[in-house]
């Protein structure tokens, strides 16, 4: 990349982008950090900080993405950041080192994103993965022990037993209650993930945030936040459609055990599938351009 003339951002420009990103990220990170300091849990808003590995401080850190040079004395400190390098022009992401050291992660993210984008979306799961996780809770207990089941134990089990369960996402399927495993039409594994992920799946679409932060700092932080915010909204829908009673947090249920609830679920699911496909295309475009210049 040293032989290619890269776009160069002056300090006034990149510091403004940095400030706006930090303000955007702080709107979600600060309330989580406050709750954590007080030992308070939130069933929706904590998820992206507890399930995924990116810490709030990492989310707050702004990156311009590959192929951009940051000018000015203030950029010099970034030369010590992992996967950054400096020369006479300024500081930039060291794409060659990142792709050399993280080749397996880059290749897997690229594969998952491309294969998922190429498949037709499926809209018949109705969020039953969360119900399968809570199946037979009289034996196993409730996974989110501080939450109540909206239909109770027997009512939850009845929904599972009378439904067609067809989850394609391994990282949801692996949390099923043991008795629910054989009720699922698929048997996803980590090895078959690349063959089963599809853009109608809420969890596959939430995982866009995971692939985005795993590719940091190749990607601009604005795109990472776009993925984070989509995941945040999907998590809200996912839990509204779950068997849990979230009325104490102000969430109205999507009653997927009814025809009306199923229709609402699919309507929202279609919208998220469309949004996720647009973000997948952006992630792949940024990744391909970064790799082409490495």
pLDDT digits (tens, 9 = 90+) for 48-65: 999 999 999 999 999 999
CB contact set of 29 (below 8 Å; sequence gap of 6+): 49, 56, 59, 60
Question: Predicted confidence band at 70 (pLDDT cuts at 50, 70, 90)?
Answer: very high
Q: What torsion do the CA atoms of 9, 13, 19, 23 make, to the nearest 10 degrees?
A: -100
Supply the pLDDT for residue 4.
55
Confidence grade of residue 5 (pLDDT, cut at 50, 70, 90): low
Strand pairing class (8-9; 69-70)? parallel
Using DSSP bridges, classify how beta strands 84-87 and 8-9 pair: parallel, antiparallel or unpaired: unpaired
| Distance in angstroms (rounded) separating the CA atoms of residues 223 and 228 | 9
* pLDDT per position as a tens digit, 117-156: 999 999 999 999 999 999 999 998 888 889 999 999 999 9
Give the integer Cα–Cα distance in Å for 241 and 234: 11
* Residues contacting 34, CB < 8 A, separation 6+: none
Cβ-proximal residues to 168 (8 Å cutoff; 6+ apart), any chain: 122, 125, 186, 188, 196, 197, 198, 201, 204
pLDDT tens digit string along 259-289?
999 999 999 999 999 999 999 999 999 999 9
Model pLDDT, residue 2: 43
Which pLDDT belongs to residue 74? Answer: 86
* 239-248 per-position pLDDT tens digit: 999 999 999 9
Give the length of the chain: 294
Q: What are phi and psi of 39, to 5 degrees?
A: 70, 30
Instruction: Work out the pLDDT band at 294, boundaries 50, 70, 90.
Output: low
Q: Please give the mean pLDDT across all residues of the chain.
A: 95
pLDDT of residue 1: 42
What digits encode the pLDDT tens for the residues 152-186?
A: 999 999 999 999 999 999 999 999 999 999 999 99
3-state secondary structure (DSSP) of residue 61: coil
* pLDDT at 3 > cutoff 70: no
For β-strands 69-70 and 84-87, DSSP reports them as unpaired
Contact of 169 with 189, CB cutoff 8 Å: no
| Cα gap 14→268, rounded to integer Å | 36
Write down the pLDDT at residue 144: 84
Beta strands in the chain (DSSP E): 8-9, 69-70, 84-87, 90-93, 148-149, 244-245
pLDDT value of position 88: 87
pLDDT exceeds 50 at position 215: yes
């Amino acid at each position: 990349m040293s032989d290619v003339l890269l776009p160069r951002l002056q300090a006034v420009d990149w510091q403004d982008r940095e400030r706006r990103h930090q303000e955007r990220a702080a709107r979600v990170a600060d309330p989580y950090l406050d709750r954590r300091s007080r030992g308070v849990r939130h069933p929706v808003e904590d998820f992206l900080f507890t399930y995924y590995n990116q810490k709030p401080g990492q989310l707050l850190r702004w990156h311009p993405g590959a192929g951009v040079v940051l000018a000015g004395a203030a950029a010099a400190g970034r030369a010590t950041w992992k996967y950054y390098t400096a020369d006479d022009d300024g500081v930039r992401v060291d794409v060659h080192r990142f792709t050399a050291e993280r080749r397996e992660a880059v290749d897997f993210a690229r594969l998952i994103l491309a294969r998922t984008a190429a498949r037709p979306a499926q809209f018949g799961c109705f969020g039953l993965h969360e119900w399968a996780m809570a199946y037979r809770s009289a034996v196993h207990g409730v996974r989110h022990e501080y939450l109540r089941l909206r239909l109770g134990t027997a009512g939850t089990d009845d929904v599972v037993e009378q439904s067609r369960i067809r989850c394609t996402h391994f990282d949801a399927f692996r949390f099923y209650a043991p008795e629910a495993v054989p009720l699922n039409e698929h048997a996803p594994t980590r090895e078959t993930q690349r063959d089963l992920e599809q853009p109608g799946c809420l969890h596959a679409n939430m995982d866009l945030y995971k692939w985005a932060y795993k590719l940091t700092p190749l990607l601009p932080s604005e795109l990472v936040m776009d993925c984070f915010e989509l995941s945040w909204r999907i998590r809200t829908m996912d839990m509204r459609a779950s068997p849990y009673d979230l009325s104490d947090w102000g969430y109205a249920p999507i009653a997927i055990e009814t025809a009306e609830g199923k229709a609402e679920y699919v309507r929202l699911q279609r919208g998220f599938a469309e949004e996720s496909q647009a973000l997948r295309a952006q992630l792949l475009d940024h990744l391909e351009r970064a790799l082409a210049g490495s």
